[in-house]
Amino acid sequence: MPTPTRTHLSDLRGITRLAIDASQGIAGIVEHMHRTVQSAPLPIGKAQANRTRGITGFVYRSVRGGMHVVGRGIDMSLAPLMALLPEGESTPARDAFLAAVNGVYGDYLVRTGNPLALEMELRLRGRRLDPDEPARTFDPEADAAPGGKLLLLVHGLCMNDRQWTREGHDHGRALADEHGYTPLYLRYNTGLRIAANGRSLADLLERVTRRWPVPVEEIVILGHSMGGLVARGACHHGQEVGHTWLKRLRKLMFLGTPHHGAPLERGGHRLDFVMDLSPYSAPFTQIGKTRSAGIKALRHGNVSLHATDVVPLPEGVPCYAAAATLAERRGAIAERLLGDGLVPLDSALGLHPDPARTLELPKTRQWIGYGMGHLELLSRPEVYAQLSKWLASRS
């Protein structure tokens, strides 16, 4: 049996809080349904108030209150033990769990102070990079000396930095070794708004580049899925506040990035709307509406705090887009219905029916992989070959 650590205890506290919150939420849904049945409204119309009254209301309040007391008691009993236990190392399985939970409920975890909430950080060879003293992260016996060429990799929704390695291949490490870059991997809470993560990334890059052990000559960013939107959000914020790291940004490469949104989130939003039409189904929309702000931002691929803003690609920075489709060849059905299983082809290439919203990506900087899915963009050799070609090009 493994020795308990502070990490184990922190996770237990976070999971307990989440379980109690979920139980209280379920109790609220049941009460809402109870209230609806009591009032017997028409099948179509506005939902009734979700709180019951009298003895019934007292029972539901007692249930929720009891859950709160139990959860609070467990949390308070575990808190004093934190200082008594040693720090613990994370595992790939734990990192994957945290990434998934943060992707779905990340904004809620932050709002409620849950220990499961991830903080944004840069990582080098699996170790957290100190943004104020980055030189301390380098192991002189295991790592190459820090160079002036940085390759930043930004993962997608519900993922983490470890998951750039797929089927034994890591685009970041391979590109860095072949072209002489120092690879840095971002780890972040994908449940937060894309614009908020973009702002945090821009600020983090400004801190790191100012304190990098050697002068930073160039920065290249590779973003997969939501990661590409976060990178665009960072550029947008950096331009607004005059960050200096943008002057060193040489290339921006996207892998399956939903520049104009993903249909699964738009479908979820429409389902919420339909279920809200009936007071009998409306209580259940509370479950779907708890999905994170990060997921909701994927409805239209918003990278700005203002949903209506049209944010162009960063001026003067060559941008490249690799897209995938499950179809074996290009066609209208494959583009509109299939895509890579998550992102339509046009969205990944920055194309939009409204010319004003179409991103300026020349055909020479677009690439389409046929017969491959969204996650296969992380491992297929033909994708790596194209990324390497783009990285080596002078434009």
**pLDDT tens digit string along 119-149?**
999 999 889 999 999 999 888 877 788 899 9
Q: Taking CA 169 as the corner, what is the angle to CA 361 and CA 383, rounded to the nearest 5 degrees?
A: 25
Query: Does 227 or 298 have the greater pLDDT score?
Result: 227
Indicate whether 220 pLDDT > 90: yes
Q: What confidence score (pLDDT) does residue 66 get? A: 58
DSSP string computed for 121-178: EEEETTEE--SS-GGGG--TTTSPPP-SEEEEEE--TT--GGGGEETTEEHHHHHHHH
319-337 per-position pLDDT tens digit: 999 999 998 876 666 555 5
Residues in the chain: 395
Q: Give the integer Cα–Cα distance in Å for 48 and 258.
A: 37
Rounded mean pLDDT of 75-95? Answer: 69
Q: Give the integer Cα–Cα distance in Å for 63 and 167.
A: 48
Rounded mean pLDDT of 221-231? Answer: 97
Q: What confidence score (pLDDT) does residue 99 get? A: 93
Indicate whether 59 pLDDT > 70: no
Q: How confident is the model at residue 7 (pLDDT cuts 50, 70, 90)?
A: confident
- Among all chains, which residue has been given the structure tokens 């609220």? 28
Residues above pLDDT 70, as percent of the chain: 71
Rounded mean pLDDT of 219-230? Answer: 97
Helix axis angle, 92-111 to 6-39, nearest 10°: 50
Single-letter code of the amino acid located at 120: M
Task: Indicate the average pLDDT of the chain.
Answer: 81
Query: Does 378 or 76 have the greater pLDDT score?
Result: 378
Indicate whether 286 pLDDT > 80: no
227-284 per-position pLDDT tens digit: 999 999 999 999 999 999 999 999 999 999 999 988 764 444 443 433 344 343 343 3
Indicate whether 317 pLDDT > 70: yes
- pTM score: 0.83
Contact 249, 223 (CB under 8 A): no
Indicate whether 300 pLDDT > 50: yes
- Among all chains, which residue has been given the structure tokens 């973009």? 198
Query: First and final CA of the chain: distance in angstroms?
Result: 55
Which residues, in sequence order, are CB contacts of 337 under 8 Å at separation 6+? none
Inter-CA distances, 346 with 64, 300, 308, 370, Å = 47, 13, 20, 14
Nearest CA to 317 out of 177, 223, 183, 384 is that of 223
Q: What confidence score (pLDDT) does residue 309 get? A: 77
Least confident of 42-46, 153-157, 191-195, 371-375: 42-46
Q: Cβ of 18: how many Cβ atoms within 10 Å?
A: 19
Contact 227, 330 (CB under 8 A): no
Indicate whether 225 pLDDT > 80: yes
Indicate whether 26 pLDDT > 50: no
The one-character DSSP state at 338 is I
